[in-house]
Structure 1
Amino acid sequence: MKPTLIYYVAASLDGYIARPDGRVDWLEAIQTPGDDHGYHAFYDGIDALMMGRMTFDALMDCEGPWPYPNKPCLVLTRYPHQHLPPGVSMRHCTPSEALTELAALGHQRIWLVGGGSLAGNCFAAGLLDELVVSLEPYLLGAGIPMFSSGLERSLRLHEQRSFSSGVVQLHYQVLPENPADVVL
């Protein structure tokens, strides 16, 4: 059975997930204490994580413990890192091969963590099943886009939520390229 790949991401209102240099410091300035925008419920509902090397390196540069405990994480990279947090592995493989590996280990709900480039590659390969984007009330003006590909695809709104912080969370199902394949 094919696992479900979910791109759960925070983005500025103008569609960027990070500043041009990769920093996400702007997210800290707009966080509201006591409101996780459904993050913990989402995290409890996934089995594993998949991310690219740039996202991994950015997380390793942050102070504090590994932010994704108790979940296996597969990092796609050409250049493995020697010192990995518990539960993290690295592979040089395609996103499709990574999903097959995670599914073989029994993981069915996979979080695609950060990385517009990897998200664009997964989207282009038809691997992305769901998109949960928390639109932050902030304009960056430039930066790393949510997707690095210019492909088009229809989405079906599954759920929308708004929070007192001004965040609007949109949960979409990515529709197949062939409209005849849509399950209603």
Structure 2
Amino acid sequence: MSSRKIVLFIAQSLDGYIATKDDSLDWLFKVEGEGDNGISEFYETVDTILLGKRTYDWIMKFENEQFPYKDKDCYVFTRSSIAPTDNVKFVNGNIVEFTRNLKKEKGENIWIVGGGDILYTFFKEKLVDEIITTISPTILGDGIPLFKTGDYHYELELKGTRTFNQFVELHYTVKN
């Protein structure tokens, strides 16, 4: 078995939301961070990126149709059949089977970007090996939760903490 890990690297509000109900991240960009809040450093540790179709669509809109992860293998999980682009392969098969096979391939770590439905599947199926979450000093009260209610349980071990001005990063490994 390869030592390739699936890592969730994500920002959340203090009360556990990754976006507002209408998919807005405006609250996140209002917070004063430091540099790029560790994103570049993390980005160098992965060679593959997984994301859901809604997250992909949001990124494309936010980035004015300029896909930001061109130098990585990117897979977008979708319920539709969509032809690949120069930067992305769309996967509409079994997410769990696809991901388990991907983990067995040679390579660096795999970044699971989101969103909520994909993350729920990954947590439920015990596919996440590390969680790096950056906490914003913002309370949203409602929105898209990082951890949906469900039938899963994780024991975590704190690997480290860092601060980026107003943000706090928590880095956990999943205990087996």
Same fold, TM exceeding 0.5?
yes
User: Identity across aligned pairs (percent)?
Assistant: 35
Contact 2:162 2:169 in 1 (8 A): yes
TM-score normalised per structure 2: 0.89
Q: Secondary structure at the match of 1:66?
A: coil
Q: Distance in 1 between matches of 2:18 and 2:68?
A: 18
* Deviations 1:91-149 (CA, angstroms, capped at 9, x unpaired): 11233222244346533410000212211111110111000000011111100000224
Contact 1:49 1:110 in 2 (8 A): yes
Gapped runs of 5+ residues in structure 2? none
Q: Give the aligned partner of residue 71 of structure 2.
A: 70
Q: Distance in 1 between matches of 2:95 and 2:32?
A: 31
Instruction: Point out the structure with the larger strand share.
Output: 2
> Is 1:35 aligned with 2:27?
no
Q: Give the aligned partner of residue 19 of structure 2.
A: 18
> Is 1:102 aligned with 2:102?
yes
Contact 2:67 2:87 in 1 (8 A): no
Q: Give the aligned partner of residue 45 of structure 1.
A: 45
Change (3 A) 1:100 1:125: closer
> Is 1:5 aligned with 2:36?
no
Q: Give the superposed CA RMSD.
A: 1.8
Contact 1:74 1:98 in 2 (8 A): no
Gapped runs of 5+ residues in structure 1? 177-184
Q: Which runs of 4+ in 1 moved over 4 A?
A: none
* Deviations 1:73-106 (CA, angstroms, capped at 9, x unpaired): 111111134473x321011123322224434653
Q: Which amino acid aligns with 2:27?
A: W
Q: Secondary structure at the match of 1:47?
A: strand
Contact 1:116 1:148 in 2 (8 A): yes
TM-score normalised per structure 1: 0.85
Q: Give the aligned partner of residue 120 of structure 1.
A: 120
Q: Give the aligned partner of residue 58 of structure 1.
A: 58
Q: Distance in 2 between matches of 1:108 and 1:76?
A: 20
Instruction: Please show how residues 157-172 of structure 1 align to structure 2 within 5 Å.
Output: 157-164=158-165, 166-172=166-172
Contact 1:51 1:76 in 2 (8 A): yes
Q: Which amino acid aligns with 1:153?
A: Y
> Is 1:175 aligned with 2:162?
no
Q: Secondary structure at the match of 2:58?
A: helix
